[in-house]
Amino acid sequence: MAQTQSVKFTCFDLELEGLLDEQEGDKAVVVTHPHPLYGGDMHNIVVDSLARAYVQSGYTCLRFNFRGVGKSKGLHDDGNGERDDILAAVAYLMDLGKKDIHLAGYSFGAWVAARTQWKIEPPPLLMVAPPVDMLSFDDVESLPSLEMVIVGERDEFAPPYLIHDKVRKWNRSAKIIEIKGEDHFFFNMAPQLESTVMRHLRQREL
C-alpha cells in the first residue's frame, strides 16, 4: 500500500499543498474537497474515503488544498481560480509520469471540477454530492467524461430529483447512485461510499 506524503506544487505563482499516495502504474486521481468557506479541506471525511477507495484500487492519489486553504497560498476565488488549481494538480501527476488520470470531486470540489476547462481530453469524472441546489451549474452544458454521481437520499444541497435532471442533461450514460438514509455530509455512510467507489472502479476495468 502506498505511503501518504506531503507535497507541494505550483499553480502559476501560487504554491499549493497536497497529500500524495504514489503507486506504480499509469493510473492516478485528483480528489477535490468541499467548500473552504464552510470548513472544507483535503482532510474532509468524504475526501479521505475517496482517497482510500482509489488507493486500494491501485491508483496514485493526489488530494490537495485549494488556494487560500490550509498552507496553500493565495485567496479563495469563488471557484474561478480553483479551476486552475485542478489543472495544476493534473499537470503535477503528469510530471510524475501518470497517463491515465481521473478526477473525483465532492460538493464544492465537484462543482469546480465540472466547470474546469480542458485543453486536453477531460479526465474521467466522478462526483459526490454536486451541490446543484446551492451553487449554479448553469454554465455546465455537458460532461462527456462524467461516469458516476453519488448522492445521499436526504441531501438538501444535492437533492436526488435535481441530480437526475442535471445528469440527464450532462451525460445520459453516467450512473447515479443514491445512498439510502444519508445526507450531504456522509458522516454515517463513509464506508458505504468507499465501497461504492471501489465497486465502480472494478467494473470499469472489465
The pLDDT tens digits of the residues spanning 22-57 come to 999 999 999 999 999 999 999 999 999 999 999 999
Burial pattern 74-94, b for ≥16 Cβ within 10 A else e, equals beeeebebbbbbbbbbbebbe
pLDDT tens across 50-96, in order?
Answer: 999 999 999 999 999 999 999 999 999 999 999 999 999 999 999 99
The Cβ of residue 182 has, within 10 Å, a number of other Cβ atoms equal to: 21
Please say whether the beta carbons of 183 and 155 come within 8 A.
yes
Distance CA 202, CA 170 (A): 24
Would you give the end-to-end CA distance of the chain in angstroms? 23
* pLDDT above 80 for 1: no
- The reported pTM is 0.97
State which CATH number among 3.40.50.2300, 1.10.3080.10, 1.10.3720.10, 3.40.50.1820 fits the domain covering 4-204: 3.40.50.1820
